[in-house]
């Protein structure tokens, strides 16, 4: 009997042809319902901060939404813009602005290279690849980014013009950078700071599930190292309210933001201020952190369930994994370097996982070991079945 037949025999419910999915970090229907109820409890504002939300204009976003963004990101309101749904779109636009117009301290060229911490966010890597930017992988150490390796690369290559990071609950490893690491990282980029972009994607700025270290303002640390003009902080409400209908934020120096608004004015006459007004009104009546506490009640049990299965596999010496204190993901490392085989076998019995190498530039996992698990979307019963499938496949193949 084949391994797959054994698994199907041990899990008879697999015969229902249902497909289970741990590929993307999507909010669950219950998370979205929590936000939907907030929206239904208020009326849509059409004017706020003296601005007609229905009309063109106010390219920087309304004041109340900018204040919300500064609260989430820990930035200054005056240096924070509130824009449209996706912070990933903002990253694309920042790269394009740097490439075509240039910022004071960032002027991308066809020869530009970016440092990418790995395992990392697949969409970051695909976006950079689409721009033709060469990516240099720097693996995480156990406790965070390998600053020494970053220093080494930058010291010998002046064409390295950027780095992309998720500094809190990093996708997918769960690392949260200490202030000391941030300070060291900003010092490491100083040799190339005349042309360097730090993309600080703080997607999980307030997504703590367990006790997590406090982080000082990245803007202040950047300023103390003379790289404030290189720093672009991004975030959004995508995993706070509605994933497909949130608002995004960017914070940088005044000069950078002025240039960015000038660039965006050729793309759109205004952000969606109606949506900004809606979010601002919701969070004028309820703290965003109180809302996150309610979301935590829905997400934490799922993380605890996944961790219980992975701990068992680790005890069997079949894997290493990160134990995240927040965010949306687990990062699984196969002890036998057979991630592709595990992913393919899971697919054959009905569990979808990201393709091997997805958390690396160019889909190249040098060790064939990493698998990202995204537990937020399935309900708890389906998630248990996902982990039963995954565990049995890992055990049978090793």
The more confidently predicted of residues 235 and 16 is 235
The more confidently predicted of residues 276 and 15 is 276
Q: How far is CA 93 from CA 198, 245, 266, 305, 369, in A?
A: 14, 19, 11, 38, 33
User: Is 104:276 a contact under the CB 8 Å cutoff?
Assistant: no
> Is the pLDDT assigned to residue 107 strictly greater than 90?
yes
Identify which of 199, 226, 229, 205 has the alpha carbon closest to the alpha carbon of residue 217. Answer: 205
> Is the pLDDT assigned to residue 157 strictly greater than 90?
yes
pLDDT score recorded for residue 264: 97
Largest CA distance in the chain: 72
> Is the pLDDT assigned to residue 1 strictly greater than 70?
no
Give every strand in the sheet of 330-334, ordered side by side. 319-321, 330-334, 370-373
Q: What is the mean pLDDT of the chain?
A: 97
**The tokens of 395 are what?**
């055990």
H or E stretch at 249: strand 248-251
Catalogue all structural domains in the chain, each as residue range(s) with its CATH number. Answer: 3-33+290-396 (3.90.1150.10), 45-286 (3.40.640.10)
Q: Which residue has the tokens 């992913």?
A: 343
pLDDT digits (tens, 9 = 90+) for 65-98: 999 999 999 999 999 999 999 999 999 999 999 9
pLDDT digits (tens, 9 = 90+) for 120-151: 999 999 999 999 999 999 999 999 999 999 99
DSSP class of residue 19?
P
pTM of the model: 0.97
What is the rounded distance in angstroms from the CA atom of residue 176 to the CA atom of residue 145?
Answer: 10
Helices and strands (H, E) in the chain, number of each type:
13, 15
What is the rounded distance in angstroms from the CA atom of residue 339 to the CA atom of residue 341?
Answer: 5
DSSP assignment of 46-78 equals SEETTEETTSS--TT--HHHHHHHHHHHT--GG
pLDDT score recorded for residue 322: 85
Q: Please state whether 167 falls in left (phi above 0), alpha (psi between -120 and 50) or beta.
A: alpha
- Dihedral (Cα; 160, 154, 363, 384), 10-degree rounding: -120
> Is the pLDDT assigned to residue 9 strictly greater than 90?
no
DSSP assignment of 343-370 equals HHHHHHTTEE-PPTTTTSGGG--TTS-E
> Is the pLDDT assigned to residue 308 strictly greater than 80?
yes
């Amino acid at each position: 009997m084949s391994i797959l037949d054994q698994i199907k025999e041990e899990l008879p419910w697999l015969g229902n042809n249902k497909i289970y999915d741990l590929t993307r970090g999507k909010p669950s229907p219950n998370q979205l319902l929590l936000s939907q109820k907030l929206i239904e409890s208020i009326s849509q504002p059409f004017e706020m901060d003296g601005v007609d939300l229905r009309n063109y204009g106010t390219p920087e976003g309304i004041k109340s939404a900018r204040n919300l963004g500064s609260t989430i990101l820990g930035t200054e309101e005056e240096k924070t813009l509130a824009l449209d749904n996706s912070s990933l779109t903002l990253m694309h636009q920042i790269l394009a602005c740097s490439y075509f117009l240039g910022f004071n301290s960032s002027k991308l060229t066809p020869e530009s290279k970016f440092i990418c911490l790995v395992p990392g966010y697949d969409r970051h890597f695909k976006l950079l690849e689409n721009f033709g930017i060469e990516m240099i992988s720097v693996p995480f150490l156990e406790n965070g980014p390998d600053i020494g390796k970053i220093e080494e690369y930058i010291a010998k290559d002046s064409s390295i013009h950027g780095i992309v990071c998720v500094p809190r609950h990093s996708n997918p490893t769960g690392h949260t950078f200490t202030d000391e690491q941030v300070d060291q990282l900003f010092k490491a980029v100083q040799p190339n700071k005349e042309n360097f972009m730090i993309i600080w994607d703080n997607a999980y700025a307030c997504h703590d599930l367990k006790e997590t270290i406090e982080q000082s303002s990245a803007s202040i640390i950047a300023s103390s190292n003379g790289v404030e003009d290189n720093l672009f902080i991004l975030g959004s409400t995508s995993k706070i309210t509605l994933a497909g209908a949130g608002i995004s934020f960017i914070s940088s120096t005044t000069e950078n933001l002025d240039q960015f608004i000038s660039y965006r004015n050729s793309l759109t006459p205004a952000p969606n201020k109606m949506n900004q007004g809606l979010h601002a009104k919701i969070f004028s009546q309820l703290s965003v952190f109180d809302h996150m506490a309610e979301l935590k009640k829905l997400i934490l049990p799922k993380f605890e369930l996944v961790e219980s299965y992975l701990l068992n596999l680790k005890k069997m010496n079949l894997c290493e994994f990160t134990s995240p204190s927040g965010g949306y993901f687990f990062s699984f490392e196969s002890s036998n370097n057979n991630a592709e085989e595990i992913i393919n076998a899971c697919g054959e019995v009905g569990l979808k996982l990201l393709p091997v190498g997805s958390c690396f530039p160019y889909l190249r996992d040098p060790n064939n070991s990493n698998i990202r698990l995204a537990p937020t979307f399935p309900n708890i019963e389906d998630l248990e079945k996902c982990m039963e499938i995954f565990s049995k496949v890992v055990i049978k193949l090793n």
